[in-house]
Amino acid sequence: MDVNPVFCGIVPPHLLDRLADSGSEAVRQAARSALRLDAVHRDRRIGLVSAPTPPARPRAEARPKPHRAIGDAEQHQRLPGRIVRTEGDGPVADPSVNRAYEGLGDTFKLFLDAFSRDSIDGSGLRLNATVHYGRRYMNAFWDGEQMVFGDGDGEIFTDFTKSLDVIGHELAHGVTQYTANLDYQDQSGALNESVSDVFGSLVRQYALGQTAAEADWLIGADLLTSEVEGVALRSLKEPGSAYDDDVLGKDPQPGHMDDYVDTADDNGGVHINSGIPNRAFYLFATELGGHAWERPGQVWYDVLTGGELTPNADFASFARLTVAAAEARFGSGAEVRAVTGAWSRVGVPTRGSDSGTTVPHQAGKEAPEPTS
């Protein structure tokens, strides 16, 4: 399968744009630097048409195991940096290295245990990450080949290795890259982001043994400093409620199609409109109860890997496939009723003559003008 890996940073460009014109001079400089670095990595991905071929495993394994390597960029902008911990090594003195190592392992464990998937590509792809990238770099990203973590600026963002769901989110972009390869634009791009939010949250829930009712359903809850009026970057439970801060602004995510944001920024609002399918998954999971990686997570995984999800899929086509997947795996019972009801509550049709409806240009809300 030909794939076109893209730069996927956890902090969306609309937020960095806001910070580049807001707050202290140090925050502005850090945000502008992050925007420049993100553009470099985004441009570097252009022209890539195939995913990297994973190295062969060193030996046959009865049970797959992760193969991790953590590099230290030492505040430079080189990848992978100096390798400081590899698979099987004990903890080192640097907590960022250890958090990255454990986060890669927790993500590997969820996909193996819950979905029988051997690493990101399904064939034992090595999991590589680099910490301490750049100076006060306020982002973390999957670049199509590895994870990269900044230390944060210290005023708005802390060390990006601190958030397990962010690690799971970024590695899930790799899973999407190797499966449905959703286009990173408009509704398909919002689905790409939402799938990563869903599996990022599931990585954290699985590691903590949480039920759907016990989970906080936040992405990046450990990233914001105490100076910020907010709890996370995004909320699957209540899109639009993650932060409301003088510097960051107000969380712009909608949770219903009535509030869909029509914008040319952020690849058509991929980090904004992802709130709609995010809330659908949350509603599905909490309606069924129990562990969300079991029935709801399995339905989302079946759609992602089933071969029927096209790269340019919209919300309605994804929703229809989740209903079909729920019925195929569980029969026409509680799971089908729960997933159908969840999509209905966020305004996305799952059947009928309008089930292919997309949001036309200028529908819904227009993106607000940037404010300083």
User: Does residue 365 carry a pLDDT above 60?
Assistant: no
* Alpha carbons 15 and 18: distance in angstroms, whole number: 5
The candidate with the shortest Cα–Cα distance to 34, out of 193, 151, 185, 165, is 151
User: Does residue 368 carry a pLDDT above 50?
Assistant: no
* Alpha carbons 15 and 127: distance in angstroms, whole number: 28
Let me know how long the chain is. Answer: 372
Q: Is-catalytic flag, 87?
A: no
Q: Is-catalytic flag, 271?
A: yes
Task: Look up the CATH number of domain 8-178.
Answer: 3.10.170.10
CATH 1.10.390.10 describes domain 186-345: yes
State the catalytic residue, choosing from 145, 170, 193, 335: 170
Grade residue 44 by pLDDT with cuts at 50, 70 and 90. low
pLDDT on residue 23: 78
Grade residue 9 by pLDDT with cuts at 50, 70 and 90. confident
Tokens of 22: 């807001």
Name the one residue in this structure whose structure tokens are 């390597």. Answer: 69
Strands 8-9 and 218-219: unpaired
pLDDT on residue 363: 40
Residue burial 135-144, b: 16+ Cβ < 10 Å; e: rest: ebbbbbbbbb
Grade residue 62 by pLDDT with cuts at 50, 70 and 90. confident
Mean of pLDDT over the chain: 89
Name the one residue in this structure whose structure tokens are 């049709």. Answer: 349
Residue 351 DSSP code:
S
**Roughly how many angstroms between the first and final C-alpha of the chain, as a whole number?**
44
State the catalytic residue, choosing from 132, 271, 291, 335: 271
* Alpha carbons 122 and 171: distance in angstroms, whole number: 13
Would you kindly state where each structural domain of the chain is located, as residue ranges?
Answer: 8-178, 186-345
| Stated pTM of the model | 0.90
Rg (CA), the chain: 19
> Does residue 257 contact residue 190 with C-beta atoms inside 8 Å?
no
Q: Which three-class secondary structure state does DSSP give residue 129? A: strand
User: Does residue 1 carry a pLDDT above 60?
Assistant: no
